[in-house]
Amino acid sequence: MAQTRLTEMRLSSRGIAAVCKMVEEHLRPATMQQGVELPTNRAIYRYFRDLGDVAIDTLFLWMADHLAAKGPELDTDAWSAHARIVAHILESGTQPKDPAKDERLVTGLDLMDRFQLKPGPLIGQLLAQIEESQAIGDLTNRDDAFALASNTLGNKRFSNDKNETGDQPAGG
């Protein structure tokens, strides 16, 4: 519905995409909290990664939606909790980036060499997991990155050696 109305209003395609993303994701901040706990650094990292340029705008839309939904029956304690969550997300998610955290600890080639893996989606999945853990401060060096990859490979029994039907090869 938003896309249709915005197109009729001749908004740019970039503007339409931004508004549609905000509308689609405006309740996501509510799903980030763990009961009464504030959202984790991992949840905040994923929120900003996934929403990009509209992450902050979406937080304000979430607040406006809450106000509109409650109307005159707004509970000030609930509103304060709502605002505390937004403040926490903004504070954690808008910290200046540490340049050291932007440098890759390992590459796809490093992972393929270390674990005798073939090129494929698994390499990207491992790199994404390493990047996320590095961004939230769980990893600080190559050894940590390799340990995480090793643990992931062991726990999930990932394999790039599946045949066309997705089955494991005999003896594998």
**Residue at 165 is within a domain:** no
CB-CB contact of 142 with 155 (8 Å):
no
pLDDT 10s digits, 29-83: 999 987 778 999 999 999 999 999 999 999 999 999 999 999 999 999 989 988 9
Identify whether residues 13 and 87 lie together within a single domain: yes
CB-CB contact of 39 with 85 (8 Å):
yes
Rounded to 10 deg, the angle between the 76-93 and 41-51 helix axes is: 80
* Structural domain count of the chain: 2
The rounded percent of the chain whose pLDDT value lies above 70 is 87
Q: Domain of residue 127: give its range.
A: 99-156
Identify whether residues 68 and 137 lie together within a single domain: no
Identify whether residues 35 and 89 lie together within a single domain: yes
Give me the residue label for tokens 């590095």.
134
> Using 50, 70 and 90 to split pLDDT, how confident is the model at 120?
very high
pLDDT 10s digits, 3-20: 899 989 998 999 999 999
**Residue at 77 is within a domain:** yes
